Amino acid sequence: MKPINIGLLGIGTVGGGTYTVLKRNQEEIARRAGREIKVKMIADKDLDRARSFADHDVIVTDNAHEVTTHPDIDIVVELIGGQTIAKNLILEAIAHGKHVVTANKALLANHGTEIFAVARTKGVMVAFEAAVAGGIPIIKALREGLTANRITWIAGIINGTSNFILSEMRDKGLSFEQVLAEAQKLGYAEADPTYDIEGIDAAHKITLMSAIAFGIPVQFSKVYTEGITKLTGEDIRYAEELGYRIKLLGITKRVEKGIELRVHPTLIPVRRLIANVEGVMNAIVVKGDAVGATLYYGAGAGAEPTASSVIADLVDVTRMQTAEPMHRVPTLSFQPDLLSDTPVIPMEDVETSYYLRMQVIDKPGVMAEITRIVAENNISISALIQKEPSSDSDRVSIIMLTHLTVEKNINAAIARIESLPVVTSKVIRIRIEELNN
Amino acid sequence: MKPINIGLLGIGTVGGGTYTVLKRNQEEIARRAGREIKVKMIADKDLDRARSFADHDVIVTDNAHEVTTHPDIDIVVELIGGQTIAKNLILEAIAHGKHVVTANKALLANHGTEIFAVARTKGVMVAFEAAVAGGIPIIKALREGLTANRITWIAGIINGTSNFILSEMRDKGLSFEQVLAEAQKLGYAEADPTYDIEGIDAAHKITLMSAIAFGIPVQFSKVYTEGITKLTGEDIRYAEELGYRIKLLGITKRVEKGIELRVHPTLIPVRRLIANVEGVMNAIVVKGDAVGATLYYGAGAGAEPTASSVIADLVDVTRMQTAEPMHRVPTLSFQPDLLSDTPVIPMEDVETSYYLRMQVIDKPGVMAEITRIVAENNISISALIQKEPSSDSDRVSIIMLTHLTVEKNINAAIARIESLPVVTSKVIRIRIEELNN
């Protein structure tokens, strides 16, 4: 049988990895796919780099449109990134009847619904395993492995950079800024690390997983996003003392009123397996009503791990292309005319429990005043600890853990606590997830 | 579109779970599969039990052949277990052009190659996600999620009963016999626990994973199998002191000479994520050349977790049945005419490292004699510890960790050590896997 022809858009880190792995494992991949998967064209602005990868029979171009419109190309692999050019190229490839494989989480989290709809009208597939959690086959697990389940929630460590930073802060007692500099030196963080440390990258990924898990459209604008830049070693240590570890989690949850969709630093019990995922590794816990909790762990980034997912999609598309479109695995797991309109609920309606830390002047009645405010906002306290300062200051830290409550109650309580003259700091607020039901 | 019709053979624990989950989540499952998945017939010897599940429009029978030959049935789900009757029913269903979904690991590990070949000639699918690690979609990950990779090794905690026993022995300091009795009381171990505690169940599962990972036929007769019945609390404690945890692992590995395929208690470093998988839970680490190590964790048994995998297969078969057979995901991941004849190597050729413990009479020269034997067998020692007994006996325990060596060298060394008059016990030998490359 003749090979399936691939056009690669972008031969950067992931594109290079994809070319290398396809070539190295071509025999084994062909044994699985039933035919050879062959890169026929590479488009990249950097022609020298493209030529340094390309074998003699590969067409190299700096004009991506040549690839998206070429009659011999069966699948276009978009690894350029960004939203404007990448989107146009993907739409052009679809218009020319080509299947698309992409790792572009930002594009799909923002414009996925539109792109998937266009692909559907043309009867082609858009596959994006590489867009979420690098080499971990989590999209496949959600879309195919857990189809029996009503999914209850997903919680994931889905940004390696921020997990590395948090691991190092805890292990070595360093500050956020120190570890960030180290991560940049090691190549784990980019020169502009905003997307990673502000939770935006994680927000793209949880948006995609949420859509697949709950059969809703992708809605990046609805994610609550809070990064790790304000975390201190102090909170990491106190959390440990209380039996928790702080991780940046992407969380999506089905609750009575709708879907929760959020990214923020989170205290999770140290005894949970996911609490022990360290460094740049990723892991996702999925809770289904039949299967219970399952966890998926692996490298969340890097040339070859991401290439592993790109190529898995290539094999899938190769295998599936002869199936009638309506019998293929639906892009968002649910058949597109059966998407649900369950709303994403606003953050202030989210119910969770909280770790609060504040600095107060150490005098009689302060505790009473703070606990009264908390009670008046219908929040009940599960632990309250006073920490003496190391210096001989008259200030002490108060750490409070709450039971489940609604975010707006906490907001109201924090505002009132911060207005007390005896409270001399902002109130640090970190959400807690037990991940047990 | 008309429903796809299922015939359930056996409505025991997993059959009951399958019926219940299909019914509870029918709307969501249909949204994913694109059509309703409907149980149309149930066959079970216990007609009362079958009727207690069956809705009014389900045909109940105690004659399984009615189901396997019924013209309206599209997919037969075999959940009877055992090898003789189940095999005949599956072959009969295939002969009648029906797809088959089964959780029968013993049958497939022994007769899978034959069954898959017959299914191929009839152009039907045989799906068995539920046969390995309960609700964890590991077959899908291996067969589809990691197709880019040359898989190097797999190591899995794939028997919940034995993992529960080892966890409890460590946690509570109880003996094997005490915990086994507890496990039987809790329903985690059967009245005859042989399959679980002797590693046979794990051997079935690793056989299936090995075939899929390496594209070789299923060869249960080639698995080296050693259970957990001889493990003592003493070894579990010493392992912990040395930074290891003892787990019953199913291991398969591609090495120069062929494929390793084995089940035995194994020391693994406590810092590995899989070392922290406790109780009845299962987890599998898969090492691929592109993706690195990925881990999959979840419930390895139980009515609804197993049903989760059965139903995922039902959705897959429903989605794939319109694809041309040669474009479906191949049963063993690799196209059947492209299976490899790489041999499974005998255990004595397996290379690993070892934990050895022996009791000796405490007198000068003993250590020298033992280490000389070890050296003469080309084994190098990485740690050697002498443990004083609690009583005032003249015997001491010697614990030795070795570097990588070949099993036959260890066998030879152990035989010679045991023949020494100063050695007063059998030599306990537990294999070590670092799981790091």
pLDDT of residue A340: 78
Helix, coil or strand: residue A106: helix
In this predicted structure, the answer to whether residue B335 has a pLDDT above a threshold of 80 is: no
Give the residue-averaged pLDDT of B67-73. 98
In this predicted structure, the answer to whether residue A124 has a pLDDT above a threshold of 90 is: yes
The lowest-confidence range among A91-105, A357-371, B88-102, B244-258 is: A357-371
Question: H or E stretch including A400?
Answer: strand A395-402
Structure tokens at B18: 């399958």
pLDDT of residue B31: 85
Query: Which residue is closest to A311 within chain B, CA to CA?
Result: B148
Q: How confident is the model at residue A336 (pLDDT cuts 50, 70, 90)?
A: low
B329 contacts on A by Cβ (under 8 Å): 319
Count of residues for chain B? Answer: 437
Look up the CATH architecture of domain B351-432.
2-Layer Sandwich (3.30)
The whole-model pTM stands at 0.96
pLDDT of residue A100: 98
Tell which wins on pLDDT, A140 or A364. A140
Q: Where are the alpha helices (DSSP H) in A191-271?
A: 194-197, 200-214, 233-241
**Which listed residue (A205, A222, A247, A253) is catalytic?**
A205
The domain ranges of chain B are 4-137+303-338, 139-299, 351-432
In a mutagenesis test of the A interface, which of B18, B28, B281 is the best target, namely the one with the most A β-carbons within 10 Å? Answer: B28
Q: How confident is the model at residue B274 (pLDDT cuts 50, 70, 90)?
A: very high
Q: Distance (Å, rounded) from C-alpha B230 to C-alpha B430?
A: 10
CB contact under 8 A, A291 and B276: no
Q: Are strands A292-299 and B244-255 parallel, antiparallel or unpaired?
A: unpaired
Give residues with Cβ within 8 angstroms of A365, minimum separation 6: none
- Is the CA virtual torsion A368, A373, A376, A381 positive or negative? negative
- To the nearest whole Å, the CA of A312 is away from the closest chain B CA by 5
Strand ranges inside A2-44, DSSP E: 4-9, 37-43
Terminal-to-terminal C-alpha distance of chain A: 50
**Which residue in A19, A18, A35 sits closest to A322, CA to CA?**
A35
Provide the number of CB pairs (under 8 Å) joining chain A to chain B.
228
Structure tokens at B369: 């004699």
Q: Distance (Å, rounded) from C-alpha A247 to C-alpha A73?
A: 43
CA B362 to chain centre: 42
A335 contacts on B by Cβ (under 8 Å): 31-32, 34
In whole numbers, what is the pLDDT of chain B averaged over residues? 94
Question: Given CB atoms, is A218 within the 8 Å cutoff of chain B?
Answer: no
Structure tokens at B89: 């029913």
Q: Is B186 left (phi over 0), alpha (psi -120 to 50) or beta?
A: alpha
Query: Which residue is closest to A139 within chain B, CA to CA?
Result: B145
Q: Distance (Å, rounded) from C-alpha B157 to C-alpha B173?
A: 21
CA–CA distances in Å: residue A423 to residues A32, A53, A413, A429: 64, 61, 13, 15
pLDDT of residue B156: 98
Q: Distance (Å, rounded) from C-alpha A223 to C-alpha A196?
A: 15
Residue indicated by tokens 């009839």? B122
Determine the topology of domain A4-127 in CATH: Rossmann fold (3.40.50)
Structure tokens at A240: 């440990």
Q: How confident is the model at residue B341 (pLDDT cuts 50, 70, 90)?
A: confident
In a mutagenesis test of the B interface, which of A22, A32, A171 is the best target, namely the one with the most B β-carbons within 10 Å? Answer: A32
In this structure, what are the phi and psi dihedrals at residue B149, rounded to the nearest 5 degrees?
A: -100, 145
SS3 assignment for chain B: CCCEEEEEECCCHHHHHHHHHHHHCHHHHHHHHCCCEEEEEEECCCHHHHHHHCCCCCEEECCHHHHHCCCCCCEEEECCCCCHHHHHHHHHHHHCCCEEEECCHHHHHHHHHHHHHHHHHHCCCEECHHHCCCCCCHHHHHHHHCCCCCEEEEEEECCHHHHHHHHHHHHHCCCHHHHHHHHHHHCCCCCCCHHHHCCHHHHHHHHHHHHHHHCCCCCHHHCEECCCCCCCHHHHHHHHHCCEEEEEEEEEEEECCEEEEEEEEEEEECCCHHHHCCCCEEEEEEEECCCEEEEEEEECCCHHHHHHHHHHHHHHHHHHCCCCHHHCCCCECECHHHCCCCCECCHHHCEEEEEEEEEEECCCCHHHHHHHHHHHCCCCEEEEEEECCCCCCCEEEEEEEECCEEHHHHHHHHHHHHCCCCECCCCEEEEECCCCC
pLDDT of residue B388: 79
pLDDT of residue B168: 96
pLDDT of residue B252: 98
In this predicted structure, the answer to whether residue B227 has a pLDDT above a threshold of 80 is: yes
CATH of B4-137+303-338, one of 3.40.50.720, 3.40.50.2300, 3.90.550.10, 3.40.50.620: 3.40.50.720
Question: Given CB atoms, is A325 within the 8 Å cutoff of chain B?
Answer: no
Give the residue-averaged pLDDT of B231-245. 96
Q: How confident is the model at residue A258 (pLDDT cuts 50, 70, 90)?
A: very high
In this predicted structure, the answer to whether residue A184 has a pLDDT above a threshold of 90 is: yes
pLDDT of residue A267: 98
A150 contacts on B by Cβ (under 8 Å): 24-25, 28
B17 contacts on A by Cβ (under 8 Å): 290
Q: Distance (Å, rounded) from C-alpha A244 to C-alpha B270?
A: 19
Q: Distance (Å, rounded) from C-alpha A430 to C-alpha A387?
A: 18
Q: B311-333: b or e for each residue (b if 16 or more CB lie within 10 Å)? A: bbbbbbbbbbbebeebbbbbbbb
Cβ atoms of A314 and A6 closer than 8 Å = yes
CB contact under 8 A, B315 and A289: no
Structure tokens at B177: 């016999």
Cβ atoms of B405 and B354 closer than 8 Å = yes
- To the nearest whole Å, the CA of A361 is away from the closest chain B CA by 42
* B429 CB-contact burial (10 Å; exposed 0-12 / middle 13-18 / buried 19+): buried
Q: Distance (Å, rounded) from C-alpha A96 to C-alpha A111?
A: 19
In this predicted structure, the answer to whether residue B336 has a pLDDT above a threshold of 70 is: no
Give the residue-averaged pLDDT of A61-74. 98
**pLDDT above 70 covers what percent of chain B?**
97
Q: Distance (Å, rounded) from C-alpha A82 to C-alpha B111?
A: 51
Q: What is the CATH number of domain A138-299?
A: 3.30.360.10
Query: pLDDT for A86-105, tens place per residue?
Result: 999 999 999 999 999 999 99
Question: Given CB atoms, is A27 within the 8 Å cutoff of chain B?
Answer: no
Q: Where are the alpha helices (DSSP H) in A342-436?
A: 366-376, 407-418
B residues 30..69 contacting A (CB < 8 A):
31-34
Query: pLDDT for B18-46, tens place per residue?
Result: 999 999 999 999 988 889 999 999 999 99
Give the residue-averaged pLDDT of B384-411. 90
**Which listed residue (B98, B140, B205, B222) is catalytic?**
B205
Q: How confident is the model at residue A320 (pLDDT cuts 50, 70, 90)?
A: confident
pLDDT of residue A328: 72
Q: How confident is the model at residue B73 (pLDDT cuts 50, 70, 90)?
A: very high
Give the residue-averaged pLDDT of A185-200. 94
Cβ atoms of A40 and A2 closer than 8 Å = no
Q: Is A292 left (phi over 0), alpha (psi -120 to 50) or beta?
A: left
Helix, coil or strand: residue A280: coil
∠ CA B189-B194-B199, nearest 5°, is 95
In a mutagenesis test of the A interface, which of B143, B304, B308 is the best target, namely the one with the most A β-carbons within 10 Å? Answer: B308
Q: Does domain B139-299 have CATH number 3.30.360.10?
A: yes
- Is the CA virtual torsion B11, B17, B18, B19 positive or negative? positive
**pLDDT above 70 covers what percent of chain A?**
97
Question: Given CB atoms, is A226 within the 8 Å cutoff of chain B?
Answer: no
In a mutagenesis test of the A interface, which of B22, B294, B297, B342 is the best target, namely the one with the most A β-carbons within 10 Å? Answer: B294
CB nearest B146 (choices: A310, A312, A329)? A312
Cβ atoms of A42 and A50 closer than 8 Å = yes
Q: Distance (Å, rounded) from C-alpha B131 to C-alpha B212?
A: 13
pLDDT of residue B331: 77
Q: How confident is the model at residue A390 (pLDDT cuts 50, 70, 90)?
A: low
* DSSP β-bridge partners for residue B293: B287
Give the residue-averaged pLDDT of A400-414. 97
CB contact under 8 A, B21 and A290: yes
- To the nearest whole Å, the CA of B386 is away from the closest chain A CA by 33
In whole numbers, what is the pLDDT of chain A averaged over residues? 94
What type of residue sits at position A223? Answer: V
Question: Given CB atoms, is A277 within the 8 Å cutoff of chain B?
Answer: yes
In this predicted structure, the answer to whether residue B48 has a pLDDT above a threshold of 70 is: yes
* B388 CB-contact burial (10 Å; exposed 0-12 / middle 13-18 / buried 19+): exposed
- Is the CA virtual torsion B273, B274, B276, B280 positive or negative? positive
Tell which wins on pLDDT, A322 or A308. A308
A205 is catalytic: yes
